[in-house]
Amino acid sequence: MRKLLFGFFTFSVIFLCGCTEEVDTSARYVFSIHTVASYLEAHDSVYSEYLDMLRKVTVSPRSASTLYQLMTARGNYTCFVPTNEAIHNYLQDLTDEGLISEPSWEAFRAFPDSSKLDSIRNVIVMNSIIDGKDEASQRYLTFFFPTENNGEFPIPNMNDHKLTVSWATEGNEEYQINGECEVDSRNRDIQVINGIIHQVHKVIAPKDETLARFIQNILDEQREGYLMFAKAVQACGLLDTFSVVRDEVYEQLYQTDQIPDMQNYQDKGGGDMSATPGDPDAHAPEHRKYGFTLFCETDDYWRSQGIDPAAPDAPQQLQAWIVAHGKFLSDAGYQDNEDYLSPRNMLHQWVMYHILPMRIPANKLVYHCNEVGYSLSTPYRYSIPVYEWYPVMGGGRLIKIYESAESKGIYLNRFPVLRNGIKQDGHEDYCDPAKVGCLIRTTDSLTVVNDVVNACIYPIDRPLAYNDDVRENMSKERIRFDLFSLFPEAITNGIRRADSPEGRWQHVYIPQDRVYKYFENMSILNEETHFIHYNGYRTAWANYCQDEDKAFGHFDIMFRLPPVPMRNTYEFRYKLLATGARGIVQVYFGNDPNRLAVAGIPIDMTKGVVAAFGENASWGDLRDDDISEDDIINIDHKLRNHDLMKGSRYESELNHTTSRDKENCLRRIIVRQTLDPGETYYVRFKSVLDSDRKELYLDYFEYCPKEVYDSPERPEDIW
């Protein structure tokens, strides 16, 4: 989509004296004789204010080193440097807001201490720099900016916030950081010894409000856009919930070295060879932040429905609309009254269905990585559908997030007809207008992905609700969910699918429960279990979304599962990639975490598909290649008699070999039983070996209803 920048070529240039306000580097050269600091000094008339702050801002409160010293040393920094004019404009903004008396540094002399001045300097400088550590790939030329409009950079800036990139129209090169800070069209992609410099014409200074404060400001100012939703949130008593930002207990433990890394983690396992070069450790998460994602109808929509968001009785009008339009489950016993604080209240349930208990940036609503037909080298060319299933706030109900080449956007609760027959291509065929779902408007002017520190807010194009029709549609689908989709903490804290080669993101060690329970939906049941997330960034693994998870030692680990949509008979399945490094595991399943029932005989995770057919079987005889559809169906039926299935055709390795093409990729049917949406289910994996060097492999699970796996009309699809 974006043309290849000349900045990929290396040139040495000799600086000319007497630079002007318009630096005009042509944005295409490598200044091999300059660091970030010396380049800025060579253009002092443009960047003198910023340089002065670099010399005064320290790397951290506990360090005497300044950022200027960092900018003179080796590194991989991406710097969004504001001009002197941009900094003066920022001071004017602070003056207009009444925070300082005049737009100059002299205004700070009136304050008895320097804390406010230090704070403003920190805002300007720390938000402008991304530290790529030792990874040259984490220097960000515009060519490597996030590919999704309003998408986040993979790693945070030095203020521990992730910056976003947007552009006016797809395909242009007029970039804005955090939606408002324009990157200069000529003075960008300036490559120096220790990084990249992009000139910006506005200081990057996100407000860093909590979601609670953001909503309260809407209410106080009667601000149009989300006023109706803000009133509904307030009526339901959710403002206090939205005020949390991070787990301060975990923060204190981490800062005092009481949250350990797993050192030399390969020594504990069964032969994994994916360690980051030079970094043999698996790293514990630095933070445990809280987050939220809101999908909201806009005030314009409610006005089109005859509801005035500014009316004193707006929540009552909204609830009456919900009732009149059937936007609820008819058999759930919801109450049509004004007790909005009650979880049984109709408005309360409707609002909660719009909220996910995790912060999901625009480029992580779905994950495009290794689905069949997709390539990271052409990131805008989508192929087969990708989707996520998440429980909403309050639990008990799922929401589906979906995108395909044909959908032309990301949708909530879209239920199309797919070309997913044995010899078909897996793409979306068509979608009934009644099943299109809600378009998530990720680039709308009302989209909030920057200023709210603990949330993202997305407008949607039509009303969202969990009613009888949505539940019915969900009940007819196989629900496949990545293990890490179970953990809001992993998504909010950027652990899942981190687009970074750094060891701290490639191999993440989750502390044992006895140290600190990091994931609410996971229980580590003994002190001999060590759990690691393998990010799989740009790795040719036949995993769903490429990543995978492992437990080492005499492992004993349990997961709380998402709800099912309707009471029905389901198969609960576990995807396995069998290798000699795996162990033998007994699986347990049920709704009482303290008394889970044994689910079948122990699983030998070293054995693939062929083992079910005996010693004389050959994988060549079982592959889909060059055999008829009837033969494929017959082989699949025989496997199911052993509670086995081949892997899916959905995910592929870089050489386009899919999981279904690999003998060691398979799905195990753990249980086949009636499940109820009112119950919470758990699955437990316990090693039955004496060895403490075998692994538990984890990738994804599936709920598959009987109508799908036992359809009299057509067999379950292979995707």
H/E stretch holding 532 reads strand 530-534
For residues 570 and 399, what is the distance between their CA atoms, to the nearest angstrom?
19
pLDDT tens track for 255-307:
999 999 999 888 876 565 566 677 889 999 999 999 999 999 999 999 999 99
Confidence of residue 8 (pLDDT cuts 50, 70, 90): very low
CA distances from 162 to 64, 150, 206, 450, 518 (A): 25, 11, 10, 8, 22
H/E stretch holding 635 reads helix 629-641
pLDDT tens track for 645-698:
999 999 998 667 999 999 999 999 999 999 999 999 999 999 999 988 899 999
For residues 128 and 110, what is the distance between their CA atoms, to the nearest angstrom?
27
pLDDT higher than threshold 80 for residue 713: yes
CA distances from 383 to 304, 370, 372, 419, 498 (A): 35, 10, 7, 12, 22
| Mean pLDDT within 534-563 | 92
Pairing between strand 479-482 and 355-356? unpaired
* pLDDT cut 70: percent of the chain above it: 93
Q: Quick one: which of 480, 562, 492 has its CA closest to 521?
A: 562
What is 6-200's CATH topology?
FAS1 domain (2.30.180)
Return the DSSP state at 14: P
| Mean pLDDT within 455-467 | 98
pLDDT higher than threshold 70 for residue 23: no
pLDDT higher than threshold 80 for residue 442: yes
pLDDT tens track for 93-103:
999 988 888 88
pLDDT of res. 11:
29
How confident is the prediction for the chain on average, in pLDDT?
91
Confidence of residue 116 (pLDDT cuts 50, 70, 90): confident
Cβ atoms < 10 Å from Cβ of 473: 18
pLDDT of res. 7:
32
pLDDT of res. 2:
34
pLDDT of res. 126:
97
The amino acid that residue 645 corresponds to is M
pLDDT of res. 273:
57
Domain ranges within the chain, ordered by starting residue: 6-200, 208-245+289-474, 478-709
Q: What is the DSSP string of 426-459?
A: --EEE--GGG--EEB-TTSTT-BSSSBTTEEEEE
pLDDT tens track for 384-420:
999 999 999 998 999 999 999 999 999 999 999 999 9
Domain 478-709 in the same topology as domain 6-200: no
Q: What is the pTM of this model?
A: 0.93
Pairing between strand 568-577 and 584-590? unpaired
CATH architecture of 208-245+289-474: Roll (2.30)
Q: Quick one: which of 367, 477, 322, 329 has its CA closest to 414?
A: 477
Please say whether the beta carbons of 361 and 456 come within 8 A. yes
Tokens 């979304």 belong to: 545
Confidence of residue 15 (pLDDT cuts 50, 70, 90): very low
What class has domain 478-709?
Answer: mainly beta
pLDDT tens track for 489-523:
999 999 999 999 999 999 999 999 999 999 999 99
